[in-house]
């Protein structure tokens, strides 16, 4: 069933109205799922929904939110890789995306933030609808590793996925009771040794994702999925 996120005033956004009525060809009386402040409702389109965006909200659909947050702190990759990470990272349950300007980053976005923020937010919203999320993930403004680490909640478990780590695995640190987990992934060139030391100074741990070297756009998806398995399935 089609899912949308309502605006603060509980109405459908102009963009969603266009999609519902002109792309999906929905009409008054058709049902959909409407998410408002993290809660999911069964809703029906009204005669004037296309104009004023109002819906007929009915019963609340029981949806279980996960009890933890996943933060992705990742060296900003070049090209369209970051947008793919936003899309697929949302599907696997990442809640906050923090693009980092790291030592080996090949891409800089110092002067483009407002335009990128709008584009990236739209990617997150679309992916959240498709994957039936109850909240739209957040994307932070590009910053340094140190700045990102300082903004994490004090109880965050920090895990750096590091290709030079051969022993420690996620299961050594994730026990199913964590409230906030931060995954740190390097850009195409990987994490610099000085960055690893900085992470350790903040109490972070290095972990391996296995014997294979993963692409920068693949690593966060594998890491987030492993967090899900450890947190949800034990």
Instruction: Return all residues near 209 (Cβ < 8 A) that are at least 6 apart.
Output: 161, 219, 222, 223, 226
Lay out the sheet containing 55-61: strands in order across: 3-5, 31-36, 39-45, 55-61
pLDDT tens for each residue of the chain, 234 residues long: 899 899 989 999 999 999 999 999 999 999 999 988 888 999 999 999 989 999 998 888 876 678 899 999 999 998 889 999 999 999 999 999 999 999 888 777 766 788 888 999 999 999 999 998 889 999 999 999 999 999 999 999 999 999 999 999 999 999 999 999 999 999 998 999 999 999 999 999 999 999 888 999 999 999 999 999 999 876
206, β-bridge pairs: 160
Do 137 and 94 form a contact (C-beta atoms < 8 A)?
yes
57, β-bridge pairs: 43
Q: How many CB atoms lie within 10 A of CB 14?
A: 10
Based on the structure, what is the number of domains in the chain?
Answer: 2
**Both 131 and 216 in a single domain?**
yes
Do 222 and 74 form a contact (C-beta atoms < 8 A)?
no
**Both 227 and 189 in a single domain?**
yes
Kind of pairing between the strands at 69-75 and 138-139: unpaired
**Both 77 and 171 in a single domain?**
yes
Q: Closest Cα partner for 77 from 208, 182, 187?
A: 187
Q: How many CB atoms lie within 10 A of CB 68?
A: 19
**Both 95 and 31 in a single domain?**
no
Whole-prediction pTM: 0.88
Please identify, among 61, 80, 105, the residue that sits at the C-terminal boundary of a domain: 61
**Both 180 and 219 in a single domain?**
yes
User: Which CATH number does the domain housing residue 227 bear?
Assistant: 3.40.1280.10
Residue ranges making up the domain that contains 36: 3-61
Do 34 and 41 form a contact (C-beta atoms < 8 A)?
yes
**Both 222 and 111 in a single domain?**
yes
**Both 104 and 197 in a single domain?**
yes
Please identify, among 61, 82, 99, the residue that sits at the C-terminal boundary of a domain: 61
């Amino acid at each position: 069933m089609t899912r949308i996120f309502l605006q603060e005033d509980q109405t459908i956004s102009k963009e969603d109205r266009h999609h519902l009525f002109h792309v999906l060809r929905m009409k008054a009386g058709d049902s959909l799922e409407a998410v408002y402040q993290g809660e999911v409702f069964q809703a029906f389109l009204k005669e004037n929904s296309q104009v004023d965006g109002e819906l007929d909200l009915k019963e609340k659909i029981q949806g279980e939110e996960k009890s933890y947050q996943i933060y992705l702190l990742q060296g900003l990759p070049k090209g369209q890789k970051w947008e793919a990470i936003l899309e697929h990272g949302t599907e696997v349950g990442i809640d906050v995306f923090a693009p980092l300007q790291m030592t080996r980053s090949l891409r800089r976005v110092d002067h483009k933030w407002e335009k990128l923020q709008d584009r990236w937010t739209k990617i997150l919203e679309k992916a959240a609808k498709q994957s039936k999320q109850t909240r739209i993930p957040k994307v932070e403004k590009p910053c340094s590793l140190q700045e990102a680490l300082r903004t994490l909640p004090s109880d965050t478990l920090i895990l750096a996925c590091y290709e030079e780590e051969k022993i420690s695995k996620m299961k050594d640190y994730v026990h199913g009771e964590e409230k906030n987990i931060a995954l740190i992934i390097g850009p195409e060139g990987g994490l610099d040794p000085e960055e690893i030391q900085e992470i350790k100074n903040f109490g972070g741990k290095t972990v391996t994702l296995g014997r294979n070297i993963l692409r920068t756009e693949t690593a966060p998806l594998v890491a987030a999925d492993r967090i899900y398995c450890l947190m949800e399935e034990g």
